Chains A and B, each alone.
Chain A
Amino acid sequence: METDGSSALTAQHLVKIYNPDRPELAVRAVDDVSFTVERGESVAIVGPSGGGKSTLMYMLGCLSRPTSGSYFIDGRDVARLGDDALAEVRNRHIGFVFQAANLLPRRTAVENVMLPLAYAGARGARERALEALERVGLAQRAAHRPNELSGGQLQRVAIARALVTRPSLLLCDEPTGALDSRTGREILDLLEALNREGTTLLMVTHDAAVARRMRRALRIGDGKLEADGPTGEVLDGAPARASDAGGG
């Protein structure tokens, strides 16, 4: 299998089976999912709870390995990498935004944003972290600790932390799930703006209104890719595009 390296990510026949060694307990959480995301796209991953969205996202985020299949990030197959190499991929190529901001409580905003750079061994970490805070509009809060920030501000710090290593892919898991609707809209505005500037955006959500902010949507149900296409069509029940869903 090969890709031309121009896509942000390519999943080919991704399968994740929990308890693969014990047939009576084995669960096919993700079942033969293939798709490609080009650079600069914004993609929503939607589907019912327990349908495999989260499992897929953890694989796409290199937090877990597929049982079988291939997964390319920037043209490199990362499906079989070791723990250290995966950690490096997460560090360099992927930025995570979770439902909870998951900031370190006794660190200031800028120190939290610097955390990925510490593991990258990068120079000028503070300057780069301040730049990232600037991009999310929180430069003036750099010296504040999490308990001095609002929910929306916390999530902005988390986004800055995800951006600071200039990843090719921003992976968001219900980023507005814990916020009120107005703050949630602001966060989505920010993510959209980042996407317009060129950041590839992948967003797992069960909220149709959130999903509609993305241009493309993948619907995952029962571990399978059920639909893939423009968000409006997918959410309104269109079938998967045969060319992408079927794979080889």
Chain B
Amino acid sequence: MKTEIRKSLSGWPFWLTLLILCGMTIYSALFIIHSDLEASTRIVRKVVDLESNPMLSVKSLYSNWIGAEWMTPFSTLFFFVFPLCAAIPYGLSLYQERRSGYMGQMVLRETRARYLLNKYVAVFLSGGLVIAVPVVLNIMIIALYFPAHAPDLNYDIYTTVKAFSFGSKLYYEIPWLYLMIRVAVIFWYGGVAATVSMAVTFFSRNRFVILFTPMLFFLLLNYSYTLFQVPYEISPLRFLGSGNVYYVVTPIVIGEALFLSFLTIAFIGLRGRKKDVL
């Protein structure tokens, strides 16, 4: 397993994708900070009315990190391309190892189940990390400028956390824990997206189909909510970030991740056990 994890995190696709995603999140953070600095300068120069509300309660780490801001297109783009980016680092490894015959060699040296388990863990970790690390970096940069004071309930229209939505109680009471849970959920979905592409390896021999299936799946899911007028946000492309209009409810966020994790494990377990390595 150690070898698999090392392989998954040392390849250049992992580092290049990480670099691109970090670029997006850094831009998002710097843009937010720059905009706030400009607004503050206007107040200092008395360009704006000093009696107007300076909205200090909104100027918090918890309402300006990439999962809560919608000021820059990069925050939307980041959560839009996450299924593809999660699959890039190691999603193709099983396909490549099957094609090159490496899998056959490995299966001779250890059990097939063990090989697939190690591969699954490595793919999950690489997908999760490549998505979660840029988010953490964004939070760190935002935290350098914005204070981490608890959000004010009176300003709830300026945040995407609606009453009774996913983690809303925690958001106002223990916001740092809420932030950690949100990052953990983002990590989980990144891992799930990567393992979906691994599961597709057993159904397709086309590397592009393998890589793009998670993104197409999430895109179709994203469209289905408008088509079927679902009252809750069901698309991870929307609820992982800030661009949501409907309620983000806990059973859907956790249930969807659990369901997809179970589905990928079942597919990989069943098909991987039966499908001939040669």
Bind each other = no
